[in-house]
A and B are shown apart, each in its own frame.
Chain A
Amino acid sequence: MNLRSFLVSLLWALLLVVCTSPQRLVFAANAIEDTPSGTLYLRRSAQEPVTEALRLATRMQVQVTGNVARVHVQQEFSNTGEDWVEGLYVFPLSKDGAVDELLMRIGERTIRGEVQEKAKAQALYNDARAEGRRASIVEQERPNLFTSAVANIAPHTTATIEITYLETLPFRDGRYTLNLPLAITPRYTPGAPQDATAEMPAATAAIMNAALGTSATPERVKAVRQRVSIEIDLEPGFALGEVSSLHHAVETQSAPSGKRVLLHTDDAPADRDFELTWTQASEKEVAGAAFAERIGGETFALLMLSTPRQMDEAVPAREVTFIIDTSGSMQGPSIEQARAALSMGIGRLKQSDRFNVIRFASDYSKLFSSPQPVTDKSRALASGFVAGLSANGGTEMRAPLEIALSGPSDPELLQQIIFITDGSVGNEAELIKLIHDKIGEKRLFTVGIGAAPNAYFLGEAAIAGRGSYTFIAERDQVGARMRDLFAKLEHPALIDLKVQWPKGMSVDLAAPLPMDLYSGDPIVVLARMPEIASGEVVLSGLVRGTQWTQRLPVTSVGDASGLSKLWARERIGTLSRQMHFGGDAEPLKAAIVELALKHHVVTEFTSLVAVDDEVVRSAGSPGHVEQAATSAPVGGAWATVGFAKTATSAEVWLCAGLVCLGLSLLLTYARFRRPALESRPA
C-alpha cells in the first residue's frame, strides 16, 4: 500500500535526519579542534570528516668536496591511514642548486627518475597513478621552491624518495656558507588583503589546487615542528678553521680529511634555515681555485675566487637611500632586526654624505621629501622615524622602488640604495625587471631579514641592481652582517673584470661576468670550452684605476664532479633572466628545455619523474590526496593560529524539534480527517 510505505519511509528518514545529522556535524568539528598542531589535515570535501593520514620525515645528507656540495634530500611519506593516499609536499631548496636526480625506493629496488618536459612528466605520472602503479614527480615552482608528489601509497606503508642537487659554495665575506632551506616564508602577492589576519600564499594555493583538482583546505605553511635530520661530510681541501652552525645545535666529529657535522633529533626546529659556515685555518692561503671536467667531448670549468677583502681607498661621498619593508610578514623579531640594521646604517654615514629613508607596506612614506645632508638634526629625525616603524599590511614594493630608482642623481655622489626586506613577494619577476631597467648609475644592495628570507629574490635584485646582498637571520648577527655590508658600500668596487684562459682559448661563459664586484664578494665563473684546459687562468680588473691581477692553476677533476650540470644550471639561470627582462620567450624556452634534457636538470619547464612497471593497486578506490605541511619560519607573522568551531548545534536541534512537532501535528490532523473521507460513497 502506497500510503503505508510512504509513512514508513518518512519515519525512517526523519529518524535518520534527527539522530545522526547534528552528531555527525559535531564530530567533524571536534576532529578539527582536537588536532594537535604539527599534523596535517585535509578535507576531501566540505561534508566529509577530516582525514590526517600522511606523515613526512626529511633526511639530508651533504657531501662537501672543495667548493661544491652534493645534497641528498630524502623524503619519507608515511601513510598511517586505511586508504590509499597520494602524498604532496611543497619544499624549499637552494636557489642555485642543480636538481639532477630522483630515486624512488621500493623495498630492495630503486627506480631512477628521468628528466622530461613538464607536461610529458605530468602525463607519465598521471598514467601511472591511474593504473595503480607507484610513481613520483618533482617539479620546480619557483627557482627555490619545489613540489614533490608520490602516487599510490598503500595503507600503513611508507614511500621514500631521494632528490639530489649540486651547488657551488662561494667564499664570501671571509667564510664559506652552506645553506639548507627548511622553511618557506609565505609569499605576498599584491592585491590580497593582509592585516592582523593573514591570507594563505595564493600562488601555492593555486598550484596545489590545480594539482589536487579540488579546493583543498589551504592549511599548508604552518608552524610545525618537523622531523628533519642532517648529516654533513665536510672535506674542504684545506685545514678547517672555525666551523659553526648558526641556528641549530650540531654535533661535530673529526674525520680523516675534514669534519663530520650531525644534526639529528626527531624534531629539529625546521622553522628556520640550516646554515653552516666554515673558515680556513690560515688566512694567508688564497681562497680560490679552478677546476675542469672533461665530459662528452667538451670541457667544463669552474673558477672561484674571493675579491680582496680590503680594497682600502679614501671613501667617496655617497647618497644613500634606505628602503625598509614594514609589511605584515616582517612582524616580530624581523622588524626589530630591520630597525637595528637601519639604525646602524644611518649611524655609519659621514658628514659629507646625504641620505633618505622610505618605508613601505601597503602604502609608503618618506622621511624627507628629498635626500638630506647628514646633520645632528636629520639624524635625530631619522631615529624618531625608525623608532616609530611597526610591521603591518601588504608588501607593495613597486612604488617605493620606483621612487628610489627614479630620483635625480648627483654625479658627484655615489648613489646607493639599501633595500631591507624579507622579500616575501610573489611578483618577483616584475620587480627584478623594474630594477634592471631603471638602475642607471645607481647601485642597489639588498639586506635579507628573518629566519627564511626569499634568497632568490634578494640575490636576483642585487644582480639586477649591480650591487650585492647580505642576510641577517638573527638579532645578534645584525652587527657582524652590517659590517660586511659597510665594507662593500664604503670601498670601491672591482670593475672591468677579465678572465684570460690558457692558450688564449675562446670559451662559452654560463653567465656574463659581473660588472661590479664589492669587497668580500666572490667571483664565480662557469665556462664551457671545446679543448682540454690545462695551465693557468689569469683574472684581472680595476679598483679605482689600479690594476688587480690573480693567477689560478687549473686542476682536472673526474667526470662525476657535476661541473657540466652546474654550468647548465647557471646558463639556464641566465636564459630565464633574459626571459624576465622581456626576451623572446619561445626560443629561450626551447633553449632551456634542450639544456635541461641534455644535462639532466630540473627547471621551470622540465621535471623529474619516476614510474614503476608493477601494478600495486589493482582495483578499488584510488584513495585521496593529502599534502604534508611545510614549516613556516619562526618568529615572523606566521606564528598563527587557526579557528575553533564557534557555533553550537543548538539551532539544528531546535529546528529538528520543531519539524518533528509539526509533523506530529500533520499526522494527527490526517488521522482525524480520514473517517470523513471514507464515509463518502465510493
Chain B
Amino acid sequence: MSVGASRRVDSMLKAAAVAAFAAGVVCLAAGAWIPIKAWAAQLLIDAAWRREHTLSRIAVPWPWADTRPVAKLTVGEGTAATTLIVLEGSSGRNLAFGPVHDVASVAPGALGNSVIEGHRDTHFKVLHTAKAGDRISVEALDGSRSVFVVTDVRIVDSRRTRIVLDTNAALLTLVTCYPFDAINPGGPLRWLVTAERLRSKPAVASVATSRDT
C-alpha cells in the first residue's frame, strides 16, 4: 500500500468518525428533546390551568396552541403522587405535551368510560407500577374532584381490541404503550389501567342470588 493511499484512508476514517460523532450528537439531542418538551409543556400548561381557574375563561397554554387543559390527573398518593394536566383531543402533537382525553369519551367522573391516553416513556411512565386498589383522582375545570379506584390492569393488542365507551358505571381508562422499555414506538400492545369512580354511598345493595354450577 502506497503512502498516498494510506493518507487517503486515514483522512476518510477521520471524516467518517467526525460524521458519526455529529450524527450521534444530533440523535441524542433529538432523543433528549422529547422528554424536555414533555416536561416544559406541562409547566406551561399548569400555568394555563391556573389562569383558567382564576380568570374563569378558556385559557390556552401558549398563544398558538390548539388544545386546552381539561382536567388535572393525580396518580398515586402522598409523596409518590404524580400530577399531570390532561389536554383535550388525542392527536400526536397533544400527546407530546401531556396526557390527552379522547373527545369521543365522556368527561372523567361522568357516567360512561372516560379515556385518557399518554406516552409510556414520558407522562404515563408512572403507570407501570399501577395495580388494583390504587387511587387516581381527577380534578375538573370547575374544581370538582372525582376519586377512582383501579379495578383492573391489563395488556391488550390494539389491533384486536377497542375500548367500550358506553358503560353503566363511571369508569376511567388510562392507556399507554406496552412494553414500557421497548425501543420500537410502533408496537401494537397497550397497557390499560381501568378504574371505577368511588361513590359517596355504597354500591347498590347486593341481592341474594343462588348460583348453580
Task: Please list the residues of chain A having a beta carbon within 8 angstroms of any beta carbon in chain B.
Answer: 1, 3-4, 7, 10-11, 14-15, 18, 22, 25-26, 28-30, 33-34, 37, 46, 195-200, 205, 217-219, 222, 328, 331-332, 335, 363-369, 381, 384-385, 387-388, 390-392, 403, 635-665, 667-668, 670-671, 674, 678
Whether the pair A197, B9 counts as a contact (CB closer than 8 A) is no
Contact residues, B93-152 vs A (CB, 8 A): 95-96, 100, 102, 104-105, 113, 115, 117-122, 124, 152
Which single member of A636, A655, A665, A674 contacts B6 (CB below 8 Å)?
A: A674
Q: B residues touching A (Cβ–Cβ < 8 Å)? A: 1, 5-6, 8-10, 12-14, 16-21, 23-32, 34-35, 38, 90-92, 95-96, 100, 102, 104-105, 113, 115, 117-122, 124, 152, 154, 156, 158-169, 171, 173, 175-177, 182-188, 190, 192, 194, 204-212
The answer to whether A14 touches B20, judged by C-beta atoms less than 8 angstroms apart, is yes
Chain A to chain B contacts (Cβ below 8 Å), 20 pairs: A18-B23, A33-B92, A197-B192, A200-B161, A218-B160, A331-B167, A332-B166, A366-B209, A403-B212, A640-B165, A646-B117, A647-B120, A647-B185, A647-B187, A650-B122, A652-B183, A661-B21, A661-B24, A661-B25, A678-B1
| Chain A: minimal CB distance from B44 (Å) | 18
How many whole Å from B14's CB to the nearest CB in chain A?
6
CB of B164 within 8 A of CB of A196, answer: yes
Give Cα A15 to B158, complex, Å: 32
A196-B152, A648-B121 known; A18+B165 contact, CB < 8 A: no
Q: Known interface pairs A335-B168, A645-B177, A651-B121. Does A657 touch B209 (Cβ–Cβ under 8 Å)?
A: no
Q: Name the A residues within 8 Å of B90 (CB-CB).
A: 33, 644
Bound together, the chains give a CA A331 to CA B169 distance in angstroms of: 10
Task: Contact check, B28 vs A25: say whether CB atoms are below 8 A apart.
Answer: no
Please report the C-alpha to C-alpha distance between residue A219 and residue B154 in the assembled complex, in whole angstroms: 21
Contacts of B156 in A (CB 8 A): 197
Q: CA separation between A381 and B206, bound complex, in Å? A: 11
Q: For residue A192, which residue of chain B has the nearest CB?
A: B160
A residues near B9, Cβ cutoff 8 Å: 1, 3-4, 674
Whether A639 contacts B165 in the complex (CB less than 8 A), given A403-B212, A650-B31, comes out as yes
B171 near A196 with CB under 8 A, answer yes
Contact B166 A646 (CB under 8 A): no
**Top 7 A-B pairs, shortest CB-CB distance:** A660-B24, A657-B27, A653-B31, A657-B28, A654-B31, A661-B24, A640-B162
Q: Are A29 and B168 in contact (CB under 8 A)?
A: no
Q: In the assembly, what is the distance between CA of A338 and CA of B57, in Å?
A: 43
A647 touches B20 (CB 8 A): no
Contact yes or no, B185 A29, CB < 8 A: yes
Report the minimal beta-carbon distance from B179 to chain A, rounded to whole angstroms.
10
- Report Cα–Cα, A37/B5, bound state, in Å: 62
Query: CB distance A640 to B119 under 8 Å?
Result: no
Which of B25, B91, B95, B113 touches A196 (beta carbons < 8 Å)? B113
Whether the Cβ atoms of A15 and B23 lie closer than 8 Å is yes
Asked whether A657 and B34 contact (CB < 8 A) given A197-B164, A643-B190, A650-B121, the answer is no
Contacts of A657 in B (CB 8 A): 23-31
In contact, B185 and A649 (Cβ under 8 angstroms): yes
Given contacts A25-B185, A200-B160, A674-B6, contact A643 B175 (CB under 8 A): yes
